[in-house]
Structure formats: structure tokens, C-alpha cells
Structure 1
């Protein structure tokens, strides 16, 4: 798995993006993948990500059928892209629900923290990949042009790293 330093790097890349796209396999259609936005609620990353969700929502049933998921985060303005894969489950742990509760979440759950349909989506990340380019567009264009002229070079557009295991 990831080292504490790597977990900090991943958190630094996604914490300001806040909203990721959760990809699951649709339970009603053979092989169809579905993506929907999900908002981070935590203030640190230790290898798991947390999201509030109605237990009656389609994603909860899709996770029940196939717990493998993918989460993607992107910030095109800063050239940051992150893809995370892991195992998901729906938790009813009241301590976990209480821990991250905030007014924004309350707006989605009219019956509050005791809503019988309230669940916490817990995603244990086991692998991923990230791309992070600090270069501005002009530098990127230069790198691409240079690569076109010097066929033995590929453009250096920034950092790219795969991590994790199955």
C-alpha cells in the first residue's frame, strides 16, 4: 500500500478539488459503467475516502453487486488528474456518520444524522495513478513542439506515477 508520504501527496492533490466522480457498474445493465459526482467530507487521508449517501440510492445497490469502484478527480486549471481504485462498502457506523457531519451534508438529509436512509460510503483505496504538471500551457506547448522535432524525446509534461496493488 501507500506510504504516509504518498498518502499525503494524494491528499494534497485531491483535497482542494473536493468533488470526484465515482464509477460503479450498473446493476441493471450488463457491463455498463456509471459515474456520478461525490463530495469529500474528510479533512485528511489515511488510505480510505468517505462520502455520505442514501442507502436507497442506485450506487448503494451497485456497490452491493460489485464492490470494485474507481474515483477520479481533476483540476484542469492546475493540470492535476488523479484516478483511484478500491473496494467500497456502505457503513451505518453512527460514530463515522457523526464524525464528518456538517451543515452542507445536513442539507441533503432532511431527517438529520438519524435518517434511516443515511449511510457512509467508505472506499478503501488499493491502487491509482496521478498526473501533476506544474508547467504552464506555453511550456507544455514547447515540450510538445520539441518532441515533434526531436523524435527520440517524449514531451516532459510533469509528474506521472502509478501506485498500489490489487
Structure 2
């Protein structure tokens, strides 16, 4: 895809709010971690907490992603819905039983095959650093553009349909 330097970067609160609105209704993100063999992505259910620059997920400690994040905390989250959002940041593990209990629901018990008070269960907090988003009026146009770009045609960043901007989230004030 495109290089970060090709786009205007902003820390405008309205742009941050736009990112919040764009990911608000998307249930699942693709979490990409760094491994010795390269990059690995897997689906993760985003916790429904007001986005303030942090995103929350639940996982078990006995997983590959846990080891990968311990070794290299750089991650990317990709959201796809009516719009597309790519969020880069740093992940860390948080032991907070009260927060786990608040975020927990029966679906997790089935997916993770464990209760919320399992000591193997841990929270992942991703502190977002940048977000790129594309608001597309037509997914067909976006897919067409991406395919053209993949084969070396239409690589002019100014021709990207609906690319809004890159948002610097490192200066977002936390409540």
C-alpha cells in the first residue's frame, strides 16, 4: 500500500473522532504481529469501549500472539466495513481483573474456552500511534483501485479513492 510520508498527517481532534466513528461499529479487527518468520494476522474482537487512543482485546497467555507481542510490541489493526481503517501502535499486556470482568460476556467463554477469572486470560491494550483511513463511497471502486495498484498501475497516491488522511494519535489526550 502507500507510504506514510505520502499523506498529510494530523492530530486534529476531529480526525481522531472520525477514526472513532469509523471503527465503532466494526466487531472484528485483524491484529498483525511481528514474528521471526514475518508478519502474522488473526481476527480479534474489539472491546466496545470509547476509543481514546487505546484499543482493548482479550487473549490467553498460552498463545503465539502473546509470545510475539512480548518479543516485539509493534502491531497493526485492520478494520474493514463501510470504510477501511489501519491503526499502527504498540501492544502491552494488562492484568486487571476488574476490567476483564466488565468486558467479559458468555461469548468469550465459548470462544476462549475459559471463564473470565482464569489466570491464563490477559488483556491486550494497543496504544494507537497512527491511523490511516479510507472512506469509500463504493467498495468496488476501492477494490478496483487496490487491484490496479497491486499490478503496478494507478500508484499515484493522489488518485487513491476516498483516502482521507493519516492521523497522528500519539498526542491524543487520555481522560
Fold conserved between structures, TM > 0.5: yes
Tell me which of 92, 114, 118 is aligned to 1:115: 118
Cα deviation digits, residues 137-166 of structure 1 (max 9, x gap): 58x99xxxxxxxxxxxx6573242111167
Query: Which residue matches 2:155?
Result: none
Query: Which residue matches 2:164?
Result: 160
RMSD: 2.5
Shift of 1:96: 1.8
Q: 1:4 to 1:155 in 2, by over 3 A?
A: closer
Alignment partners' CA distance in 2, 1:53 and 1:136 = 31
Matching of residue 20 in structure 1 with residue 24 in structure 2? no
Query: Which residue matches 1:95?
Result: 98
Tell me which of 35, 42, 46 is aligned to 1:36: 42
TM-score (norm 1): 0.77
SS state at 2:26 partner: coil
Matching of residue 49 in structure 1 with residue 55 in structure 2? yes
Q: Runs in 1 of length 4+ with deviation above 6 angstroms?
A: none
Aligned pairs for 1:62-81 within 5 A: 62-75=68-81, 78=82, 80-81=83-84
Structure scoring higher RCO (CA < 8 A, sep ≥ 6) equals 2
Tell me which of 4, 15, 30 is aligned to 1:6: 15
Does the CA-based 8 Å contact 1:20-1:39 persist in structure 2? yes
Alignment partners' CA distance in 1, 2:19 and 2:169 = 16
Q: Which runs of 5+ in 2 are unaligned?
A: 1-9, 145-157, 171-175
